[in-house]
Amino acid sequence: MRTRQYVILTLLLVWALPLFASANSHCCKEELLEALSENPEIVNVEELGALYHQKRYTILWNRTDLDALLALSEDPKYNYLQLPLHTAPLRQMRARMALEPLDPASRAKLDLLASDQFISFAKFLYEGEIDAKRFFEIVQEYGEKGLVWEPNPRKPHYLSDLKKALRTHRIQSILTRYPPAEKAFRALVEAYHRYRTMRFPKIDYLKDLKRGDYGYEVAQLKHYLHVTGDLAESDPKYLDFPTFDEKLEQAVLRFQKRHYLKQNGIFDRVNVLYARRSAQDKAALIHLNIERYKLFPRIVNDTHVIINIPGFILQFFEDGTLMDEIPVVIGREDRPTPIFRDVLEYIVLNPSWSIPQNLMKKDYIPHLAEDPASLLRDDIHIYRGGKEIDPEKVDWSKYLNYEGRIPYRMVQKAGEKNVLGAMKFIFPNRYHVYLHDTNAKKLTTLRYRLYSSGCIRLAEPYKLLALLSPYTRYSYDRLLDIIASGKTAHIRLKRKVPIHIRYLTAFVDGACRINFRKDFYGYDAIQMPLLNRSSMR
């Protein structure tokens, strides 16, 4: 309260300065000042004070602009949480306006509420409901867990945008620029509306259900999967008929795929546990991920790469179209892959691997202390300065739990034993994270693929190489020839490709189906309590 009073007092002192004002502004200046200082509903006091001071206390909103603001504020595609904002009092005053002119005090109040609503709604659309300031503080506090989530570096100038919207009478076109423009985001909002009103039928567990089974629990399963959208059949006779047929098996497979369960068509105890999670719980998770989208840097290029960490998947988009998906191996829970945006700049074929200091300390020094020759078997060589060192002539035990910088470099030569495989894709960043092939192919076939130390391993690196080849000076066949030669080559991209590493535990896939994933890094647990920060609920 004291802060608000201080801000208002400061603004009043500024506004008291003599200004040339039109008759219209002169007649409403006092009313605007009074409405701002005495109306506790106003949220963006400082911004509005600056706005009306700059505009010499004129009335800014006409009926057409106000109608546009109210219409968008009530549109469920944008105000999907049905935030009240100032819509009700604005509607009431707008109705009065249609019958008779408003008195100066009411007109001033309407103008301030409309401006306040524009700014608050813009902040909701762009920044979302997660308390980002507190979230990034918590991430820093979790430093020992290695969590990294870079903030969106861009923040709009809401006041400038409001002035432009009023000047050009483009209220809706400016407001609708704020939320993420991706189809997947809009589809997630649609899924939220469905799940918020859904009610799941009861699911009993007596035994694992599979094709050919018969019983009332089969009918229960049919009704459940019909509600979730996995079973398209809607005939009540079919849904009540208690036989597990091929249609139901296909529906179970869709359910399993959406929840990243073992896809075998058998509805077992694990499937039942996932099915018993309420629609409201799932709606809450969808809502969290809608707001999470707003923490990510916006996608502004039609050609880009997206990696979703909980989904273990890389997507390549060209001209806005999803071209392909590639399974990936991500960072372990104790060595999480950072969440950030960068740009792919070049590819290294037949790369060597310079082992980072942190991995030397955690993974390699303990082995060297026990068996100094162990690394040579993996074609890893040790250097000090420019000179190769015999590992058996170093007392590695003194570097156990060593806090300083180890005065050696470890380099694994290119070749079959190299952990980076035949290629790596570089987007230079301070985390030393990149995409690469792997010599541990078995890991790419597992369901839960959290085995790297932060970098991202590709199950099908040649797919990405083919997709990126048009962005290089070489044909795909020529790139394959270079790999076959065994020689290391740096291939620069003619056009840099943005890469977005994200964390979504609820998302809509290419088939327009809502998917759910486990919270491996714990971001759901951190962010869920930070939801609902809106000051205009």
Strand ranges of the sheet holding 387-389, from the earlier edge strand across to the other edge: 353-354, 409-412, 380-384, 387-389
Report how far residue 241's alpha carbon sits from residue 471's, in angstroms, rounded to the nearest whole number: 56
Report how far residue 80's alpha carbon sits from residue 194's, in angstroms, rounded to the nearest whole number: 11
Flag the least confident range among 8-12, 16-20, 157-161, 293-297.
16-20
Is 371 within a domain? yes
Q: At which of 144, 179, 214 does a domain end?
A: 179
Answer for the pair 312, 459: CB distance below 8 angstroms, yes or no: no
Report how far residue 470's alpha carbon sits from residue 476's, in angstroms, rounded to the nearest whole number: 8
Do 303 and 247 lie in a common domain?
no
Do 62 and 169 lie in a common domain?
yes
Do 337 and 454 lie in a common domain?
yes
Do 260 and 309 lie in a common domain?
no
Is 189 within a domain? no
Is 236 within a domain? yes
Q: At which of 179, 211, 226 does a domain end?
A: 179
What domain count does the chain have? Answer: 4
Q: What's 421's domain CATH number?
A: 2.40.440.10
Go through the chain and tell me how many residues it has: 537
Do 24 and 71 lie in a common domain?
yes
Angle between helices 104-127 and 158-168 (to 10 degrees): 120
Q: pLDDT confidence of 23, banded at 50, 70, 90?
A: very low
Answer yes or no: is pLDDT of 13 > 50.
no
Is 320 within a domain? yes
**Tokens describing residue 60:** 């800014």
Do 226 and 108 lie in a common domain?
no
Answer yes or no: is pLDDT of 183 > 70.
yes
Answer for the pair 312, 327: CB distance below 8 angstroms, yes or no: yes
Range of the domain at 385: 353-413
325-346 exposure pattern, b = at least 16 Cβ within 10 A, e = fewer: bbbbbbbbeebbbbbbbbbbeb
Do 369 and 270 lie in a common domain?
no
**Helix, strand, coil fractions of the chain, as percent rounded to 5:** 45, 15, 40
Sole residue written with tokens 């979703």: 308
Answer yes or no: is pLDDT of 532 > 90.
no
Do 234 and 314 lie in a common domain?
no
**Tokens describing residue 502:** 């994200």
229-275 pLDDT, tens digit per residue, is 999 999 999 999 999 999 999 999 999 999 999 999 999 999 999 99
Do 170 and 70 lie in a common domain?
yes
Do 169 and 99 lie in a common domain?
yes
Decide the pairing of beta strands 380-384 and 450-452.
unpaired
Is 294 within a domain? no
Do 375 and 341 lie in a common domain?
no
Sign of CA dihedral 134, 135, 138, 139: negative
Please name every residue paired with 328 in a beta bridge, in sequence order, or none if there are none.
458
Helical segments of 144-208, H only: 158-168, 171-175, 183-197
Is 188 within a domain? no
**Tokens describing residue 177:** 């620029």
Q: At which of 393, 413, 433 does a domain end?
A: 413
pLDDT mean across residues, the chain: 91
Q: What's 252's domain CATH number?
A: 1.10.101.10
Do 240 and 221 lie in a common domain?
yes
Which three-class secondary structure state does DSSP give residue 74?
A: coil
Is 187 within a domain? no
Q: pLDDT confidence of 15, banded at 50, 70, 90?
A: very low
Answer yes or no: is pLDDT of 20 > 60.
no
Sign of CA dihedral 146, 331, 413, 478: negative
Is 109 within a domain? yes
